[in-house]
């Protein structure tokens, strides 16, 4: 049984090119797909999903594209809160990553999103925003040094990560046919199962998602034993 599924929703820009649509429309479809996949996950009994939304490397994209993404994120947060989607789903949202580099208005919207959904407990969606796995580990090491701890244990190191108090993902899915992790949850994924899917993120269908979950169920997890 899967408790926690993690997603690398890859292929938004390629989908825009393939369909000859504005990239903003493709990204909007990608955000909506995250909520749709969350609903599929709930139907299968999953309790938590973590999705990458914006990586530290995404800051290397053009200023125009970044502005469009930030405006989209802020608009979608407002839309989902106003239409009662999160309340209906009893969906708690937690952000992992360093959002301090985002525009102030987006930071405020994110804090409002976490505050408004904090009391819900039916399902938890973790969004990785301005997240990079190497940077997460470096920042954890700096926090450990600042704390004065001289000898850190494996189980204690996790307490200094963005994912503190979160279970490690059972399975990690990546769409678009790319077969690499790109720095997504490197510490947390030590014993995760990986499934790589060919569809671009916005075009992922439920049947393909369920097939990936069934593949996971057919595997035997040994955790090094």
pLDDT at 121: 93
* 91 strand-pairing partners: 123
Cβ 168 vs Cβ 192: under 8 Å: yes
List alpha helices for 118-219, DSSP H: 133-147, 154-157, 206-218
What residue numbers bound the domain in which 103 lies?
Answer: 4-131+168-218
Does residue 163 lie in a domain region?
no
State pLDDT tens for residues 96-128: 999 999 999 999 999 999 999 999 999 999 999
Does residue 111 lie in a domain region?
yes
Nearest residue to 16 (alpha-carbon basis) of 205, 200, 209: 200
Does residue 50 lie in a domain region?
yes
- Residue 192 CB neighbour total at 10 angstroms: 18
Cβ 117 vs Cβ 95: under 8 Å: no
Does residue 161 lie in a domain region?
no
Q: Single out the catalytic residue among 10, 12, 130, 170.
A: 10
State which residues of the chain have pLDDT below 70. 221-225
Distance between CA atoms of residues 199 and 216, nearest Å: 18
Q: What is the DSSP letter of 204?
A: -
The whole-model pTM stands at 0.93
* Total tally of structural domains belonging to the chain: 1
Does residue 142 lie in a domain region?
no
pLDDT at 225: 58
Assign residue 123 the CATH number of its domain.
Answer: 3.40.1180.10
10 labelled catalytic: yes
- Residue 193 CB neighbour total at 10 angstroms: 17
Q: Single out the catalytic residue among 32, 58, 98, 168.
A: 58
32 labelled catalytic: no
pLDDT at 85: 84
Does residue 70 lie in a domain region?
yes
- Residue 191 CB neighbour total at 10 angstroms: 12
Does residue 191 lie in a domain region?
yes
Does residue 138 lie in a domain region?
no
pLDDT at 88: 86
């Amino acid at each position: 049984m899967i408790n926690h599924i993690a997603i690398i929703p890859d292929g938004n820009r390629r989908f825009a090119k393939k369909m000859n649509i504005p990239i903003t429309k493709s990204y909007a479809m990608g955000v909506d797909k995250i909520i749709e996949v969350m609903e599929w996950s709930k139907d299968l009994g999953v309790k938590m999903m973590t999705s990458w939304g914006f990586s530290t490397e995404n800051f290397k994209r053009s200023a125009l594209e970044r502005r469009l993404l930030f405006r989209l994120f802020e608009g979608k947060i407002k839309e989902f809160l106003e239409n009662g989607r999160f309340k209906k789903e009893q969906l708690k949202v937690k952000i992992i990553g360093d959002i301090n580099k985002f525009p102030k208005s987006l930071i405020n919207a994110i804090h409002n999103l976490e505050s408004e959904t904090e009391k819900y407990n039916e399902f938890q969606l973790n969004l990785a925003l301005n997240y990079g796995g190497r940077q997460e580990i470096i920042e954890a090491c700096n926090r450990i040094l600042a704390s004065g701890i001289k000898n850190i244990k494996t189980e204690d190191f996790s307490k200094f990560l963005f994912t503190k108090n979160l279970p490690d993902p059972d399975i990690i899915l990546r769409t678009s046919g790319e077969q690499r992790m790109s720095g997504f949850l490197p510490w947390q994924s030590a014993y995760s199962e990986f499934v790589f899917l060919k569809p671009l993120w916005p075009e992922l269908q439920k049947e393909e998602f369920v097939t990936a979950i069934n593949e996971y169920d057919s595997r035997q997890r040994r955790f090094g034993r």
